[in-house]
Structure 1
């Protein structure tokens, strides 16, 4: 367990990430200086729940393939089965990823995607607003991560000893801020 594999396009995949890494990358601050990677924690359930859910995380360095695109190349390339996919991401998808995800959802009618975002990426940019709206129109459920979601990610995707996670002081306030921004975007 805890295996991390280096995959193509500077995307790595593993089952659990380090505690500091999670606390830094997932912090839901408005200005995310230095947070230049996307961490994507995933859970894939098959129709009927006949198999154990597939869980893990991916990260990128905004290189040739972002974590969102790499997920569909490396984790879920099969378009024929019915899947419920849940992502917890450190930042909402960029314009290019939002467009690719919308296209994938339009092609794969049996795929349901719900994305919980820690922060909104460049949400003030008109093309980003359009991208998130297109993604929602394609059937993606976009949500902001509330404090209990951070606890869930900590308990499920973070490699820790006996340390427990306490959400940072402004976690709830920042969540409310982003919920309002996302609601405005998706009007």
Structure 2
């Protein structure tokens, strides 16, 4: 059992692979034009992406995708539970925008929407503004947002956008070990020998506590 942490938590470790830490830096290649933007959707994604993209490290170098796993419960004139994930490619748009554009383009009258997102990192300012606007417009929508990491949380604009999301009714939380396990069980492709076996990384709990403290400070 992990001992209770005292004082200010240390910043999350960067999660770099030990064998690459001392490797020679590759020569800088000329920049190539990115292919057209696309949104990837589905029910499960490869475990490699989960282990890399969802890891709750402080420095997200190389983690240039956003994975958004959703559970949407409908009650009222329409009922049902829907699950899936969205993955954005490149920088033209983000998974949060894609959810409202492709998965839930409108909230119908007489239907209550209870939506939970499990996202690899918290939203940028633009996506936070879209979330805030949608929640203000649709009072029959409830959104809980659980994030693995805080994106650029030191920036005043980011902090302000997160507070506006909260004021609009969004419940914003940091993913704990049990939430990573839920994503593993419900949204990750289970390879042979991996079925039902979520293996937490060494610093998962201390990184969760670090980000939880920072989020609480921002939302006060």
The interval holding the TM-score normalised by the smaller chain is over 0.9
Match of 1:86 in 2: 116
- 1:16–1:159 Cα contact (<8 Å) kept: yes
User: Which residues of structure 2 form unaligned runs of 5+?
Assistant: 1-35
CA-to-aligned-CA distance 1:82-114 (integer Å, 9 cap, x gap): 200000000000011001100000001100000
Match of 2:172 in 1: 142
Residue 44 in 1 paired to residue 84 in 2?
A: no
Query: Residue 121 of structure 2 aligns to a residue in which SS?
Result: coil
RMSD over aligned Cα atoms: 1.5
- 1:101–1:135 Cα contact (<8 Å) kept: yes
Structure with more helix by fraction: 1
Task: Give 1:98's match in structure 2, choosing from 128, 135, 150.
Answer: 128
Following TM superposition, by how much is the alpha carbon of 1:49 offset from its aligned partner in structure 2, in angstroms?
10
Q: Detail structure 1 runs of 4+ shifted over 3 Å in the superposition.
A: 48-52
Residue 184 in 1 paired to residue 212 in 2?
A: no
Match of 2:39 in 1: 11
Following TM superposition, by how much is the alpha carbon of 1:39 offset from its aligned partner in structure 2, in angstroms?
0.3
**Could you tell me the TM-score, scaled by structure 1's length?**
0.92
User: Which residues of structure 1 form unaligned runs of 5+?
Assistant: 1-7
Following TM superposition, by how much is the alpha carbon of 1:32 offset from its aligned partner in structure 2, in angstroms?
1.0
Task: Give 1:116's match in structure 2, choosing from 130, 146, 153.
Answer: 146
Structure 2 Cα separation of the partners of residues 60 and 91 of structure 1: 12
Rate the CA distance shift 1:34–1:49 in 2: closer, same or farther, 3 A.
farther
**Could you tell me the TM-score, scaled by structure 2's length?**
0.79
Match of 1:58 in 2: 86
Pairs aligned (count): 180
- 1:147–1:167 Cα contact (<8 Å) kept: yes
Structure 2 Cα separation of the partners of residues 166 and 64 of structure 1: 34
Residue 154 in 1 paired to residue 184 in 2?
A: yes
Match of 2:199 in 1: 166
Greater gyration radius: 2
